[in-house]
A and B are shown apart, each in its own frame.
Chain A
C-alpha cells in the first residue's frame, strides 16, 4: 500500500505528496530546502512553520503564497518566486 498517490510540480519537477501535506512538507520530503530567489535579497526557505515569517513564500499557480500554510494539490504549478537568477 502506498499513500504517495499524488504530485504537484516544483519548477517543473514532479513532487509527490501525502494527504494533508503542505507544499513545504512535500518539498522537505523531496529534499528541497532552498526555495530559490525570494521576496527580498534572501532566498526563500522554510523557517517558522506557522505563517508568521513569510520566508517560505513561493509562487503557487502564479500567486505568492506561504508554502507552510498552503495545502499541496495535485497538478499544481509551484515555482520559485522570481525568475531564476543567473
Chain B
C-alpha cells in the first residue's frame, strides 16, 4: 500500500484538484464553499503556469463569435458578481476596450467584428476622429478607425489566485507533481504523486498544459507561447488611455477573425494595456513553442515597433521586463470542460488558451456545479471533452 499524503479522516466528500492556476483555484474556492473537502496539488506553486504569465484582459471585445464570445460575456459578468459579493472586490475593474484599424485592409475586419459583438449583445460605438482624439489623445494620426467596446474588465490572474487562496478554506500543496489517477477496486479513488497517494472521492484536472496527460486522445492540447513586454511607469510621459488598445491584427493573430496570411509558426497581435500601476503591458506573440523561459529581440522589436506606430509617446519609456508564458491551446480553439467519459468521478477544465483569465472564475464555478451535480447555468455543450474522442473515432 503506497504512502498516503493526507489523513484518512479527511476523505468525506473530498475532491483533489490538479493545478493551482486560476481555474483550479476558483474551482477549489467554490467547491469548498459547497461543503467539499478540497486539496489542490501543484507541481510548482499557485499561479506558476499560464496564470502567472498572462495579461489580465477580461475581454469580450477580443473573442471569436460563437460559444467563446457568449461565455466571455458571462465570464465578465461573473467577475462583476463576485466583486459585488465581496469575493473578488478590488481584483477586477470594469473598463473599456478599443479595437483600432490602421491599415485599409483592417477596416472590413473591424466592421465584421463590431457586427458580431453587437449580435452577442455587447454595447459598443464607433469613434469619430474627434472622439478618438478625445478618448485616446495619444494615438498616432495614422489610425483609421476605432471602436469602443463596453463591458470588458481587467483582473490579474495571480492576484485572483492569491485572493482565493487567502479566503479559501482549502489546502494547497506546492511542489507536488501528479503522475496520474489512482484506482482502487476499478474506480478512481484519488491521484498518484511523487510523494504518494492523495485519496479523494472526485478529481478535477485543471492542470493547464499538463492536463494533456489525463486525456485519452493525443495531440488535443498544444502549447502556444506568448511573449509580453512590461514598460516602466508612464505617468507624465505617456498620456493615459482608459482601456487596452487592440489592433485588428490582434484579432487575426488570436484566430478571432480570419486573416489574409497563412497561419505562421508565429504571429504578432498588438495589445497595449495600460496597467493600474501606470506601466504598460505590450503584447503579444502566438508561437508554436513550449519553451516559456525564452524571449527574443526580434519579437520584442516587432511588438514595440507596432506599439510605437500606434502610440508614438511610448518610445519615451524604457522596457522593464520581457517574459513569456505558454497558453494551453486546443485543436479546435475551444476549451475542454466536463466529465471524462471513461470515469464517473473525474472532471477536467482546461484548454483556455488566451482566455483563461476571463473565463477562469466562471469555469471554476461550472466545475463545482458539475462535480456537485448541481445545475450548470451556462451552456457548455461545445466544451465537452468527448468531442475529440468522437472525432478520433470517426
Contact = CB atoms under 8 A, between A and B. Distances in A.
A–B contact, 8 Å CB criterion (strictly below): yes
Interface of A: 39-40, 59, 62-64, 81-83
Nearest to A83: B236
Nearest to A84: B236
Interface string B175-214: 0000000000000000000000000000000000000000
19 contacts: A39-B232, A39-B233, A59-B236, A62-B237, A62-B316, A63-B237, A63-B316, A63-B317, A63-B318, A64-B232, A64-B237, A64-B316, A64-B317, A64-B318, A81-B236, A82-B235, A82-B236, A83-B235, A83-B236
Interface of B is mostly: loop
Given A39-B233, A83-B236, 9 more contacts: A39-B232, A40-B233, A59-B236, A59-B237, A62-B316, A63-B237, A63-B317, A64-B316, A81-B236
B65 to A, nearest CB: 41
Contacts of A83: 235-236
Contacts of B316: 62-64
Interface of A is mostly: loop
Contacts of A63: 237, 316-318
Q: Which 9 residue pairs of A and B lie closest in terms of their CB atoms, listed nearest first?
A: A82-B236, A83-B236, A63-B316, A82-B235, A62-B316, A39-B233, A64-B318, A39-B232, A64-B232
A40 B237 CA distance: 14
A83 B232 CA distance: 16
Contacts of A64: 232, 237, 316-318
A59 B232 CA distance: 13
A62 B315 CA distance: 10
Contacts of A39: 232-233
Interface string B207-249: 0000000000000000000000000110111000000000000
B205 to A, nearest CB: 40
Contacts of A40: 233
B34 to A, nearest CB: 41
Contacts of B232: 39, 64
Contacts of B317: 63-64
Nearest to B318: A64
Contacts of A81: 236
A34 to B, nearest CB: 17
A83 B237 CA distance: 9
A64 B235 CA distance: 11
Among B235, B236, B316, B318: residue with most chain A CB under 10 A: B236
A63 B236 CA distance: 10
Interface string B295-321: 000000000000000000000111000
A63 B314 CA distance: 10
A82 B235 CA distance: 6
A39 B233 CA distance: 6
A40 B232 CA distance: 10
A49 to B, nearest CB: 19
Nearest to A57: B232
Nearest to A82: B236
A69 B391 CA distance: 61
